[in-house]
Amino acid sequence: MSPVLISPSILSADFANLERELGAIATADWAHVDVMDNHFVPNLTLGLPIVESLVRVSPIPIDCHLMIEDPDRWAPGYAEAGARSVTFHIEAVADAVATARAIRAAGARAAFAVKPETPFAPYEDLLPEVDMVLVMTVEPGFGGQSFMADQMPKVSQVRDAVRRFGGEVWVQVDGGVSASTIEQCADAGADVFVAGSAVYGAESASAAIEQLRALATAHTHR
Ligand SMILES: O=C(CO)[C@@H](O)[C@H](O)COP(=O)(O)O
Ligand SMILES: [Fe+2]
């Protein structure tokens, strides 16, 4: 297995042709699906019925990023629908341990995400309960925003905490990740990279995926 995972975000894809758009990223590791409810974030995308359909036609596993209120209630359903990984926001969840356990019990990898202004340190004790931590490198809600380099110390902090913990917890970055920003993410300790506009905005999605993979692999510490 490659030491890094590339997870293109279909938020930048053509929503009228999602099966074809998933086919275009078949050489990636995961397909990142941004679920937004217009409450936790000021944008509305798609929900469970569409994720169920995407799981059926996707050539690669689905990586669900839930930007929704009350993930305690909804997140396990995305795991039951067949998503490989389900990420809820720590700012939205009431019981992170119970939600992560319910996601894992339904057969998916569990993860929590932190917004740019949310510190990681108060949640370090959750590491045994999850398979990944997502450090947002933009304010959640929209694709195509500028990368926030000031989040790199937080990525390093998560990586250091994972080393101390000693288990295998992946560190994901999401927002503004491109050929010009991915190396600093890998240097800081990220190993799962979400990229929307950098992949779907490229002339060739597969060439963009390979370029991102090569750059990240050259800078990873995993
Ligand atoms: O979760 C989000 C936005 O909230 C992301 O997954 C974006 O979809 C990434 O898009 P780019 O910043 O890579 O264009
Ligand atoms: Fe996302």
Q: Is 141 annotated as a binding residue?
A: yes
CATH code, 5-219: 3.20.20.70
Confirm or reject: Cβ of 106 under 6 Å from ligand 1. no
- Whole-number pLDDT of residue 1: 56
| % the chain with pLDDT above 90 | 97
Domain-wise residue ranges, the chain: 5-219
- Mean pLDDT confidence for 170-186: 98
With cut-offs at 50, 70 and 90, classify the pLDDT of residue 221: confident
Compute the mean pLDDT over every residue in the chain, rounded to the nearest whole number. Answer: 97
Contact at 8 Å (CB) between 209 and 8? Answer: yes
Q: Which strands sit side by side in the sheet containing 192-195, from one edge to the other?
A: 5-8, 192-195, 170-174, 132-136, 109-114, 85-89, 62-67, 31-36
Which ipTM was obtained for this model?
0.99
**For residue 215, what are its two tokens?**
């750059």
- Mean pLDDT confidence for 10-21: 98
Pocket residue to mutate for ligand 1, from 194, 199, 209, 212, most atoms within 8 A of Cβ: 194
- Mean pLDDT confidence for 140-149: 98
Q: Assess whether pLDDT exceeds 80 at residue 218.
A: yes
**Tokens 């679920």 sit at which residue?**
35
Pocket residue to mutate for ligand 1, from 7, 9, 67, 182, most atoms within 8 A of Cβ: 9
CA–CA separation, 122 and 17 (whole Å): 41
34 is catalytic: yes
- Whole-number pLDDT of residue 126: 98
